Amino acid sequence: MPLYRIPNVLGYIANSDKYIYIPEISTDRINCSSNVVPIIYNTWYLNRFSITNFVPQNLSSKVFNKLILDFTLLNDWITPAFKFEEKRKGMQTIVRFDKSTSLAYFTYKGQLFNVELVGHMKKSYGRNNKYINYKNDSWISINGENTIPSDQAIFFATEFKKMLSVVLARPLNTTQLSKKGIDKCTQKPLTEDIYFLEPRFKNNEDKLFIYEMFLQNIDIQLNNLIPNWFNKDENVELMVQDYLLTITYNETVQNKLINLTEGIEAYYRDKDETLYRKLQDMLYSLPSYILGVLRENVGDLDAWLLAIKDTRVYIAHGIRRVNVIDDFMRLSQYVNAFQYLTQYFILQELGMKIESKERVKMNLDSLFNTEEI
């Protein structure tokens, strides 16, 4: 069948069974006279395309109820699904990849979804076979009761990227979005790899250090985080958006402070309170051990918040008060600490129970121990 007769199919990939499918495209036409049908276009605006292992026709007979997602840094922090087995004979230890691990269930638009961790281990031998390296390759699988439209698949990928970016305090990239399904007529397994426009970041390839992370299964209970994320209210969403701006772009410390405080104002927007009072509401909702560490570094907490508030008002409106922070190094320390506290607050509001108290104390202390170079 000639491909040019199939709507929205750009072409066939040579030496493969894959097609390039463009479900949506907008165009600018070349100006033609009124009696000529225009068939040539100057510009194509492409928002997404797919690579499929099937001819994109009769889509109503095709059911896609499974997604495979991958993100930068996923393998560096999420617990891999593997297990150790010991053999009595020869005193051998075998590493086997375990079956998929259920992470959470969540509902969206009345449909129940199951989130699993899937993947495999790659084994390589070191010099003279003296040691073995195991590399974890993990993916997130989302399984639905019914077919998952491509728009919803992109939404899920975007939301998981945002959620994991909050957890890691890093801007992540989506590295894979695949739909898995079956043709109801032929029972043939189907795959559609979706490529869509999203901001891409270069500075998230740095390795994660264990001391800077909230830990999965200890601090980050995904069985709580995932359903709470998809059921969070609008005020939490607004705060998340402002926080993500501070980790996504190379902002000035002044812009970072404005975005953080705007997020807190948005979270408490239903309260008829001043900015200073809203900052107090957020800070004093945090555990007492955090307030103790903060007090050791900044002194009186109310005075510290007053300086944060007055500096933000001065930056945004030019109204100078006595508590404005002029020293750039001190302002940077305060804002970075405030950013960390905001991250903790968001995770706390999403149901996290942070158990790594010593790690949190160390991270918070480190934000005040920077030296000017």
Confidence of residue 234 (pLDDT cuts 50, 70, 90): very high
Predicted local distance difference test score (pLDDT) of residue 14? 82
Task: Give the residue with greater pLDDT, 316 vs 58.
Answer: 316
Collapsing DSSP to helix, strand or coil, 366 comes out as: helix
Residue-range domain boundaries for the chain? 1-56, 58-222, 233-366
Confidence of residue 43 (pLDDT cuts 50, 70, 90): low
Q: What is the DSSP string of 109-156?
A: TTEEEEEEEEEEEEEEE-GGGS-EEEEEEEEEEEEESS---HHHHHHH
Instruction: Name residue, tokens 């992470």.
Output: 103
> What is the rounded distance in angstroms from the CA atom of residue 59 to the CA atom of residue 182?
11
Cα–Cα distance list, 262 to 245, 246, 310 (Å): 11, 11, 14
pLDDT at 372 over 50: no
> What is the rounded distance in angstroms from the CA atom of residue 66 to the CA atom of residue 152?
12
Percent of the chain at pLDDT exceeding 90: 58
| Average pLDDT value over all residues in the chain | 85
Terminal alpha carbon distance of the chain: 67
Instruction: List, for residues 113-169, the tens digit of each pLDDT value.
Output: 999 988 776 777 777 766 667 666 789 999 999 999 999 999 999 999 999 999 999
> What is the rounded distance in angstroms from the CA atom of residue 261 to the CA atom of residue 311?
11
Instruction: List, for residues 321-367, the tens digit of each pLDDT value.
Output: 888 999 999 999 999 999 999 999 999 999 988 888 999 999 999 99
82 and 72 Cβ atoms separated by less than 8 Å: no
Confidence of residue 3 (pLDDT cuts 50, 70, 90): very low
Q: Which amino acid is at 88?
A: R
257 and 335 Cβ atoms separated by less than 8 Å: yes
Residue 296 dihedral angles phi and psi, to the nearest 5°: -65, -25
Predicted local distance difference test score (pLDDT) of residue 84? 52
Collapsing DSSP to helix, strand or coil, 100 comes out as: coil
Query: Please, which residues have CB within 8 angstroms of residue 330's CB and are 6 or more apart in sequence?
Result: none
Instruction: List, for residues 156-203, the tens digit of each pLDDT value.
Output: 999 999 999 999 998 999 999 999 999 999 999 999 999 998 887 765
